[in-house]
C-alpha cells in the first residue's frame, strides 16, 4: 500500500502502449461492489478467494498489459507463485517504512485499512505488515527501490530491465 503501484503501472502502460489493469478494480467490476464493502459483508477469506480467482483469470485471458495488484495479493493463495509462473515480469516496488508513512499519511481518508490509525502509530503498523509480507515480496525477480525517486524515473528504470 502506498508504494506507487498504480501510478507507476499507468505511466508504464502509456510508455509501452499496453493496457493497464488494477486488480482491485477488476475485482470490484466482477463483484459489482467495492473492496471495502466486500470485506465488510463477506470477510477477508471470501475476498482472498475472489482475488485469487480474478488474478488467474487476468493472467490467463489477457495479453500485453501491466497489472497492479493489492499489497496483500502476493501473500495469499499462492498468488506470488502464480504471478511468477504466468507473468513475463514481476516487480516489487520497495519503499522504506518512513517513506511509506510519509505517503500514506496524506491518503489516510481514502484507505480504510489505515483510516483510524493515529499518525504516530502508522510507521509501526507499516513495519509490522512489511515484516509479515517481506518473504513474499522478496520472491519478485525485480526489486525497484523507490525512495526519493520521481515516478517517471522509476518507469525508466523498469523499462531498462525489460530490454
Q: In whole angstroms, give the CA distance from residue 149 to residue 163.
A: 21
3-state secondary structure of 69: coil
Is 13 labelled a binding residue? Answer: no
Is 41 labelled a binding residue? Answer: no
Pairing mode, if any, of strands 91-94 and 19-22? unpaired
Is 2 labelled a binding residue? Answer: yes
Q: In whole angstroms, give the CA distance from residue 60 to residue 55.
A: 8
Instruction: Give exposure, 110-144, as e/b (b: 16+ Cβ within 10 Å).
Output: eeebbeebeeeebbebbeebbeeeeebbeebeeeb
Q: In whole angstroms, give the CA distance from residue 25 to residue 10.
A: 13
Is 71 labelled a binding residue? Answer: yes
Is 96 labelled a binding residue? Answer: no
User: Distance of CA 113 to CAs 15, 36, 72, 98, Å?
Assistant: 32, 9, 12, 18
Beta strand segments in the chain, E: 19-22, 65-68, 91-94, 142-145
Is 163 labelled a binding residue? Answer: no
Is 5 labelled a binding residue? Answer: yes
Cite the annotated binding site for Mg(2+) by residue number. Answer: 6
Cite the annotated binding site for substrate by residue number. Answer: 24, 48, 71, 133
Cite the annotated binding site by residue number. Answer: 2-7, 24, 48, 71, 111, 133
Cite the annotated binding site for ATP by residue number. Answer: 2-7, 111
Amino acid at each position: 500500500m502506498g508504494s506507487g503501484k498504480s501510478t507507476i503501472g499507468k505511466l508504464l502502460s502509456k510508455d509501452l502502449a499496453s493496457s493497464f489493469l488494477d486488480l482491485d478494480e477488476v475485482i470490484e467490476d466482477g463483484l459489482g461492489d467495492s473492496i471495502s464493502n466486500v470485506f465488510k459483508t463477506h470477510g477477508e477469506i471470501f475476498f482472498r478467494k475472489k482475488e485469487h480467482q480474478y488474478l488467474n483469470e487476468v493472467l490467463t485471458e489477457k495479453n500485453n498489459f501491466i497489472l497492479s495488484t493489492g499489497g496483500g495479493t502476493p501473500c495469499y493463495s499462492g498468488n506470488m507463485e502464480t504471478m511468477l509462473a504466468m507473468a513475463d515480469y514481476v516487480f516489487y516496488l520497495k519503499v522504506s517504512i518512513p517513506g511509506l508513512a510519509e505517503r500514506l499519511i496524506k491518503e489516510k481518508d481514502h484507505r480504510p485499512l489505515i483510516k483510524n490509525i493515529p499518525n504516530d502509530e502508522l510507521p509501526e503498523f507499516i513495519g509490522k505488515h512489511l515484516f509479515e509480507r517481506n518473504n513474499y515480496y522478496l520472491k519478485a525477480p525485480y526489486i525497484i527501490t523507490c525512495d526519493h525517486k520521481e515516478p517517471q524515473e522509476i518507469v525508466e528504470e523498469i523499462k531498462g530491465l525489460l530490454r
